[in-house]
A and B are shown apart, each in its own frame.
Chain A
Amino acid sequence: MERSIIDVPDLSLKELDTLMDTAEDIIARPDDYADSCRRKKLATLFFEPSTRTRLSFEAAMYELGGNVLSVTGAGTSSAAKGESVADTAKTVSCYADIIAMRHPKEGAALVAARNATVPVINAGDGGHCHPTQTLADLLTIRREKGRLGNLTVGLCGDLKFGRTVHSLIGAMSRYEGLNFVLVSPAELKVPSYVKNDSLKKKGIPYTQTTDLEEVIGELDILYMTRVQRERFFNEEDYLRLRDSYILTPEKLKKARKDLCVMHPLPRVNEISVAVDADPRACYFKQVLNGKYMRMALILMLLGRMKTREGERK
């Protein structure tokens, strides 16, 4: 079985550093990577709607000089005929050198990875994991703050169903000196198993509150999230909770001058468009950083990382 990435803990801290260093190098010297994946093909299998992640993977592969085979929507693929994820993975392995897959069912990426003969990158499996979003988040924090430790990180919005939040807490909890501030309505708190596994066990301090304005002045990072309609079985609950927190220029007045405002996007209305002009708004940089981290990850899984001397590993 080829090495695949299903979740961020699949990567060691050293590998995360290497990926971020590579991403920085790509940013500094994009031409050096323009042919890194020549004659390689990435298959993007997206069985759930996505614009950003799919385009990011595809742009990443094109910028590495590779090609892309794309499947979008279960309705246009053999999944509509009832093909299993395992069979799809085995079949696509015959055409592509690497697979990026998004699927509405949790654990689908693991099934694909166990059956594919090429590396599989989990591009989101339902509400479970979305590791490349977390890689984008980590690079953004490192680029904006110059470090991944000694930070007060605020997470705001849907902290119950927000997979990016769980994944980011897990990833950040591996660094020193973190303090988390969890801001959510009572119904959308971080699940206790995430708090137990990532925070309590490691003795990482955290506070929970429902009031963003009360804590915004303490934060180095403010990670906003969308209340996602697709994660609710009950439309009434969704409508009641979707407007819980809306970040506005007014609320940002209480924040630090060097706050980094992040969001995995797409946003609905949880960050006012007026905030976009604020230099603290980093969410579109996050999108760009996501592409660079996906480039680095593709290079790693295809064994095309450069050594310091410029040789291929």
Chain B
Amino acid sequence: MNVDAIQNGIVIDHISAGCGMKLYRLLGLERLDAPVAMITNVASAKRGRKDIIKIDAEIPVDVNVIGYVDPGATVNMIRNGELQEKKQIDMPETLVNVIACKNPRCITSCEQELQQVFRLANREKKEYRCAYCETKAAGL
């Protein structure tokens, strides 16, 4: 299977197999008016299998979203067909407007204009909690 190299854009590499579509959705790539390639289950020396997303456009990408979905992923910034920058992604301490609190008693359930804020509560367990009511974030 061949996917063309991109000239100016972003390659999100080393995504855990199966996480690519979640990332695609949370990054809002379905709304992007540019070529995007989603490649799943690619053979990987490090991980056995991995997903890759190629975005043929220089757009701002929320690395916090990537860190939340898959902190092992890397972000490669491509310009004129060359690798300009490679970012290792870590789990963000705070997530803003990435996921929503599911607790019906949370203030965010009735005041829709509030930002949805989650804080990293347990790094080992990848556990985020709502900044308002401390309810654990539902899994992806």
Residues in A lying within 8 Å of B, measured CB to CB:
84-86, 103-108, 110-111, 125-128, 193
Contacts and interface: CB of A to CB of B under 8 A. Distances in A.
B107 A85 contact: yes
Contacts of A103: 107
17 contacts: A105-B109, A105-B110, A105-B111, A106-B105, A106-B106, A106-B107, A106-B132, A106-B133, A107-B106, A107-B108, A107-B133, A111-B107, A111-B132, A125-B107, A126-B133, A127-B105, A128-B105
B111 A85 contact: yes
B93 interface: no
Interface string B80-102: 00000000000000000000000
Interface of B: 103, 105-111, 113-114, 130-136
Contacts of B105: 104-106, 126-128
A104 to B, nearest CB: 8
A107 B113 CA distance: 14
Given A126-B133, A128-B134, A106 B103 contact: yes
A84 to B, nearest CB: 5
A86 B130 CA distance: 18
Nearest to A196: B122
Contacts of A110: 107, 131-132
A103 B133 CA distance: 12
A86 B113 CA distance: 10
B136 A105 contact: no
Contact of B133 (A84, A128, A193): A128
B136 A107 contact: no
A193 B121 CA distance: 10
Ranked 4 nearest A-B pairs via Cβ: A107-B132, A106-B133, A105-B107, A107-B107
A84 B112 CA distance: 10
Given A128-B134, A193-B136, A105 B113 contact: no
